[in-house]
Amino acid sequence: MLTDSLCPLRIVEHFEDKCTVLCVVRNVVQHRLHQPTKSIIMSGYKPGKLIIEGKTKQVYEVIGDPKLCILVSKDRITAGDGVKSHELEGKAAISNATNAKVFQLLNQAGLRTAFIKVIDETTFISEKCEMVPIEWVTRRLATGSFLKRHPGVPEGYRFNPPLQETFYKDDANHDPQWSEEQIITANFKLNGTTIGKDEYDIMKRTSLVVFEVLERAWATRDCALIDMKIEFGINSTGEILIADIIDSDSWRLWPSGDKKLMKDKQVYRNLVSVTSADLDNVKRNFKWVANQLDHLVPPTKSSVVIFMGSPSDKEHCQKIAKHANALGLNVQLRVSSAHKGTTETLRILAEYEGSNEKVVLIAVAGRSNGLGPVLSGNTSLPVINCPPVKTDNVAQDIWSSLNVPSGLGCTTVIYPESAALAAAQIHALHDHIVWSRLRVKQLMNFIALKKSDAELKNL
């Protein structure tokens, strides 16, 4: 059996196909040179040695850049430890498209991934990582192998929060389920990073966020993400990144939450005999998934309009804008005084009322805040007051934002970041990208605290 120090890079099929780990020691395969395609060469990335080849993909070095690698998908579909295996023309291109769109979505949400970019129909560039030999499985509904391991639990049992499981990628032992304690005790050392409790926690929390981000995205297409698996790698600077490939082999996807409509590789796994019509059907499903992914990013961005009572409040408003942009919101700044130019304020407000777009208003007015309450009294759009309070006069300045007449529902925060977060939370109700940015921001806070703690406790 190959140990992990010998074999940091492994290729594995779906998490339900235990014992499909294919592990190739780099040096053994590196002499097998392949003819690189014209488009890879034209992309400016020259493929070097073949690092590893699995049933469904090849990984090459990039000549001149040791930090990158090239992943090439193959037209092959396999299941059950390769017992079932078929050539499926066009599968590599579909996998490329699915994987690229999923990683673009994760990157857009702000997650750290190894994916860099697609360079041709079947090929993408990734940061070169040493792979953590663990499959991180997240489940919303109980199905598949979970039911076998937990007799009595009905299929469709809902996990809130999603259930997380880890499997050690060890073909000789059929990818056994591993506990947190087993993973920490294994003491994996990859690219200078030792996988301990902190690293375990970070990967566990990140897996959950990946699942939630994709679950929300799929929900916009009326598809239930049932479960999925991901893997992590450690890049050359020791950073934990979401790596490997995420495609129709990585998840269960049930349109309208209906198992009978499943669109993932389970369809292939379930086949007893495989006809060419069956394979066409599997391919149609995979293609459908790749096409659906085109619609996962909302066409227009959710907007925030920051009204300031005076241009002297610009700096405060720009702080709000910076935070709002970072959360994926579109921001506009407007100057209008409700005290000195009420009709103009209401005219500007009417522009947004009439736009039919989803807009959250933030009112920034120093001293007595007439602006927020006037806006709020004249619109059903949400209004958040964020007065630029002066430290010597906080109690006075804040009062006009809080003590509003009956019938008004504007809310008040005093920090620019809070205003942006409050607006994002409102938009997150309908915009899954904003929801994802919020979720990832919480994850990044969690990771940053862990890192600070690790640094300080070792001082």
Ligand X SMILES: *[C@@H]1O[C@H](CO)[C@@H](O)[C@H](O)[C@H]1NC(C)=O
Contact with ligand X (CB under 6 A) among 110, 328, 373, 382: 373
Partner interacting with residue 53 (select from ligand X, Mg ion, none; CB below 5-8 Å by kind): none
Least distance (Å) from Mg ion to the CB of residue 15? 9
Instruction: Return the ∠ at Cα 168 (arms to 165 and 173), rounded to 5°.
Output: 120
* Residue 10 touches ligand X, criterion: CB under 6 A: no
191, two tokens: 């690219």
Least Cβ distance, residue 324 to ligand X (angstroms): 23
Residue 400: helix, strand or coil by DSSP?
A: helix
CB neighbour list of residue 166: distance below 8 Å, 6 or more residues apart: 134, 135, 136, 137, 177, 178, 179, 180, 183, 204
Determine if 12 is a binding residue for Mg ion (CB under 5 A): yes
Write down the least CB distance from residue 304 to ligand X, Å.
Answer: 21
Q: Considering the complex, what minimum distance in angstroms separates the CB of residue 253 from ligand X?
A: 18
Task: State which amino acid sits at residue 378.
Answer: N
What is the C-alpha to C-alpha distance for residues 455 and 221, in angstroms, rounded to an integer?
A: 43
Contacts of 125 (CB under 8 A, 6+ apart): 45, 62, 68, 69, 70, 71, 116, 117, 118, 119
Q: Which of Mg ion, ligand X, none binds 418 (CB below 5-8 Å, type-dependent)?
A: none
User: With binding defined as CB under 6 A, does residue 101 bind ligand X?
Assistant: yes
State in angstroms the smallest separation of the CB of 207 from ligand X: 17
Q: Which structure tokens are listed for 294?
A: 């085109």
User: Are 273 and 83 a contacting pair, CB within 8 Å?
Assistant: no
The verdict on 378 binding ligand X (CB under 6 A) reads yes
From Mg ion, ligand X, none, which one binds at residue 66 (CB under 5 to 8 Å depending on kind)?
ligand X
Rank residues 12 and 434 by Cβ distance to Mg ion and give the closer one: 12
Query: Using CB under 5 A, which residues numbered 240 to 279 contact Mg ion?
Result: 244
The answer for residues whose C-beta is within 8 angstroms of residue 73's C-beta and 6 or more apart is: 56, 57, 91, 92, 93, 95, 96, 99, 122, 123, 245
43 touches ligand X by CB under 6 A? no
Q: Residue 133's binding partner, choosing from ligand X, Mg ion, none, with beta-carbon cut-off 5 to 8 A by kind? A: none
Which of Mg ion, ligand X, none has residue 12 at its interface (CB below 5 to 8 Å by kind)? Mg ion
Nearer to Mg ion, 10 or 316 (CB): 10
Nearer to ligand X, 103 or 136 (CB): 103
By the rule CB under 6 A, 97 interacts with ligand X: yes
Q: List the single partner that 97 binds among ligand X, Mg ion, none, CB under 5 to 8 Å by kind.
A: ligand X
Asked, as a colleague might, if the bond just before 388 is cis with ω within 30 of 0, I would say no
Give the whole-angstrom CA distance, residue 252 versus residue 248. Answer: 8
Site for Mg ion contains 52 (CB under 5 A): no
237 binds, among Mg ion, ligand X, none (CB under 5 to 8 A by kind): ligand X
- CA nearest 126: which of 242, 26, 36? 242
Q: Which residue has the tokens 């500007």?
A: 348
CB of 11 to Mg ion, least distance (A): 6
In whole angstroms, how close is the CB of 244 to Mg ion at the nearest point? 5
> Which secondary-structure segment (H or E) carries 160?
strand 158-168
> Using the rule CB under 6 A, which residue among 18, 74, 91, 112 binds ligand X?
112
Backbone angles phi, psi at 143, to 5 degrees: -165, 180
**Residue ranges binding ligand X (CB under 6 A):** 66-67, 93, 96-97, 100-101, 112, 118, 121, 127-128, 130, 191-192, 235-237, 239, 241, 342, 346, 373-374, 377-378
**Residue ranges binding Mg ion (CB under 5 A):** 12, 244
